[in-house]
Amino acid sequence: MDPLSITAAAIGLTTFCGQAIKILLKFAGESSSVDLTIKSFSDKVANLNRVLKSITASSKDQSILSLAAGTGHEAQHWRDVLKCLGDCRSCIARLVNILEKLESDDGNIFKRARRQLRLSIESGEMAVLRRQILSFTQTMQISLQMLLL
């Protein structure tokens, strides 16, 4: 298991999270009826982003690197973390894709109404993505807590 892979994956994910947060906050500012839902979603992505930054910082620590380079349970844990980061990347990529489609809606007079309609249409998938983001955040937090033991 290469600790550099974990660092690179976490850094890439923070960039994706930043994109999603930016678009979500833009939507929240433009739409009064769904702004609380969008703000809440944005907060969940921001929480994940903070945890990913902590993973990045931790993966640079020499004592952590020695655990990751081992062959026992610690090494398996870090392989699992890397797999989880890959799954998280797929989730965030899908979220950014949906948000960019919503953002590209360029009608003038009905732009806001169409965006809200599309957001409601996508809400089933958005709800799944929201739950996945929460799950990834909790998984990464547990991983960080294990480092402190």
Q: What is the pLDDT of residues 69-82, one digit of tens each?
A: 666 777 777 778 88
Average pLDDT over residues 125-130: 84
Work out the pLDDT band at 19, boundaries 50, 70, 90: confident
Query: Each residue of 25-48: pLDDT tens digit?
Result: 776 666 555 556 777 788 888 888
DSSP calls for the chain: --HHHHHHHHHHHHHHHHHHHHHHHHHHHH-SSSHHHHHHHHHHHHHHHHHHHHHHHHTT-HHHHHHHTSSSHHHHHHHHHHHHHHHHHHHHHHHHHHHHHHHT---STTHHHHHHHHHHHTHHHHHHHHHHHHHHHHHHHHHHHHHH-
Judge whether residue 109 has pLDDT over 60: no
pLDDT at position 119 is 66
Residue pair 93/16 in contact (Cβ under 8 Å)? The answer is: yes
Work out the pLDDT band at 108, boundaries 50, 70, 90: low
Question: What is the share, in percent, of the chain residues with pLDDT greater than 70?
Answer: 68
Domain boundaries, the chain: 3-148
pLDDT at position 113 is 59
pLDDT at position 11 is 77
Mean pLDDT, the chain, rounded, equals 75
